[in-house]
Amino acid sequence: MDKSHMPTAFTSHHHWYSSILDSLNSPNPTSLEEYKSTSSFVYTYNHVLHGFSASLSPEEYETLRKSPGFVSAYVDRNATLDTTHTPEFLSLNPSTGLWPASNYGEDVIIGVIDSGVWPESESFKDDGMNTKVPAKWKGICQAGEGFNSSMCNSKLIGVRYFNNDIIAANPGINLRMNSARDTVGHGTHTASTAAGNYVSDASYFGYGKGTARGIAPRARVAVYKVNWDEGRYASDVLAGIDQAIADGVDVISISLGFDGVPLYEDPIAIASFAAMEKDVVVSTSAGNAGPLPRTLHNGIPWVLTAAAGTIDRSFAGSLTLGDDQIIPGWTLFPANAIIKSSPLVYNKSISACNSSELLYEVLDGVVICEPVGSIYDQIDHISTSNVAGAILISNDTKLFELGEVPCPCLVISPEDAAAVIKYAEASPIPLATITFRKTKISTKPAPAVAYYSSRGPSPSYPGVLKPDIMAPGSLVLAAWIPYESTAQIGPNVYLSSDYNLISGTSMSCPHVSGVVALLKGAHPKWSAAAIRSAVITSANPLDNSLNPIRDNGKKYQLASPLAMGAGHIDPNRALDPGLIYDATPKDYINLLCSMKLNKTQLLAIIRSDSYDCSNPSSDLNYPSFIALYNQTRMPGEVLVQKFQRTVTNVGDEVATYKATVNAPKGSAVRVSPNTLVFKRKYEMQSYTLTIKSRSWDKKPDISYGELVWVQEKGKHVVRSPIVVSPNIPHGNVAL
């Protein structure tokens, strides 16, 4: 709604909306059907948009459209969820860098928009926390079913839950848990990843055992439950973000998204614009629809969009053969089991391991399964057989990234398999011993882009390079809800655990949220755009073997920025980025104006018709570059695209930076000027980057490079990825 149309007779916009809805209703319903069709409020929104959500009949909607002040209306939508060692992997150190500089994120408030929280988890105890909650906090600990207000503390400072729309959409529904208590596990996991307290001896059935803690272990947590077992709706998500802004959070972490919607209909885009205006940083997940391009959601210019990567940790077991050969392997079988000196069986008739009936012929032996068909099918057949165990031969990255091994199985590489098969065929009595529950760290190479991580360009606005950054996402260990299955042995045995290993960009998002909270603690006056810039320009494009990051979804080829953004997040370098690319709300409005949106669409995001579209510009001051061309370009046609950028010196008082360019293949890149001289801190300098690329054939191709500003005689290196890409239709062309 356009609030400027509110009659003076109303004391608040809520009363105005109520009056409008009352006018739609029949004053004296004469039938049950007419009574059921009566329009009713779901939510009134105060911050993320000016308007409300309500249950309306088609006729009532048509009448509402004619009301004074009506701007636009959208049908509610369903949201998509995106699902101990990572602080070390990110080089967070108690002695130097971002942890001590931010005092571990003390008093920064992270609002987690998710499926609620399990308050009894050790990750949310307040041991060591400053008992005085920040004065800016305006939230509450909302009581509900199985959740009383005393369950909040100095760590978990507030909870709220929002289910008005799921109830309105499903009259008579009986919610499994009508409170902020988490019955899914997803919200507990993400909240503890971002800011969980220290918990010793945490593990997943013995794997990854150690001290669990969040990225910002002294930050405060506020949880807003919008995801329910029974579904998740846009109106509830909007209400949660609206309330988080009102409550005074500093960071919003939201590991869900809405697919296939334009910015002006995307609840997260609309709500995060209001958050950005208040310098609340919104960290979001890219989605799990990779590896095809243009599949990400949350490709929103004013948020941080996180891709997912692997971690330098592997869960292992070992195979010892009867001749004392020891073969390393991968497993997550959730038991402290030992298969000792069991017969090792290699039989061509059953080696496909795709028949439970044939596997029943192996009595208490360890069967070798050749890489035939789906490894998941093999695991299912082994789980329902009576074999003692199995050796699976595979390099399937999906299995290594997702886990879940319900059988006593060990996965070995095809290279190691040759020696095992040779021994099994040559030995008169081949024997095998398998041990489980081993954890290896500092494995190489890591990180790699997770195969499932959604890729850019952004369908909602491809003119800004998305995703922004990559963070740990595969097999992340964090808090979980008890009494729910987290692992399985065979077809009938289900196990629970207080900590769980799960994978997804839902897991990478709270890592970024935690880093953002630390940066907020260290630089409380930085804008949301400045913090995003610091995260992007300090990212590491190399893995721990000092080679370019690879892409598991592209057969280990070099990873494109459309898969990993600027690279892997590097918290300590983000603390002191040297230069930042800042942006104001006006800059985003100019961007929206350049999109040729109509007045209704602009109002949906900006919430006011006082905006000025006299200076539209699609060239946002963003710390990355993407040049898009039409796929129908003729051979030899030249694309020329110019980008104007302004950087602010937040490093040394006096500094000189020189530009180094690695141009995308087939393109020429010019930077003018190529030297920036700063005489004082917070001084701003501008430059122009021009990309010229020639189309040699009609086949769509993607190339990428980088612009690096290197400080002379200084420590700062400020890197921005460059992409030249066709404007790819959804799901077309592998990256």
- Tell me how many degrees the CA angle 453-456-460 measures, rounded to the nearest 5: 115
Cα separation of 391 and 408, whole Å? 9
- Tokens 């399937």 -> residue: 396
The angle at the Cα of 307, spanning 306 to 312, to the nearest 5 degrees, equals 115
Closest CA to 321 of 338, 352, 342: 342
341: left (phi > 0), else alpha (psi -120 to 50), else beta? left
* CA 509 – CA 272 distance, rounded (Å): 15
Q: Are 404 and 454 in contact (CB under 8 A)?
A: no
* Closest CA relative to residue 452, chosen from 502, 503, 509, 487: 503
Q: Is 114 a catalytic residue?
A: yes
Per the annotation, the verdict on 235 as an active-site residue is no
Query: Residue 411 gets which letter from DSSP?
Result: E
> Which residues fall within 8 angstroms of residue 699, CB to CB, at 6 or more apart?
none
Query: Tokens standing for 376?
Result: 């998941």
C-alpha distance across the termini of the chain, in Å: 42
Indicate if 186 belongs to the active site. Answer: yes
Phi, psi angle pair for 491, to nearest 5°: -80, -15
Name the active-site residue from 82, 114, 236, 570.
114
Q: Exposed, middle or buried, 219 (CB in 10 Å: 0-12/13-18/19+)?
A: buried
Residues 281, 286: Cα–Cα separation, whole Å: 16
Rounded distance between C-alpha atoms, residue 178 and residue 675, angstroms: 60
Q: Which two tokens stand for residue 358?
A: 């044939």
Task: Spell out the alpha helix ranges (H) of 469-541.
Answer: 505-522, 528-537
280 vs 246: CA distance, rounded Å: 11
Q: Which of 186, 297, 381, 568 is an active site residue?
A: 186
Non-local CB neighbours of 321 within 8 Å, separated by 6+ positions: 327, 344, 420, 423, 430, 431, 432
Question: How is residue 701 written in tokens?
Answer: 């191709």
Distance CA 644, CA 686 (A): 7
**Any idea how long the chain is?**
735
The residues that are catalytic are: 114, 186, 506
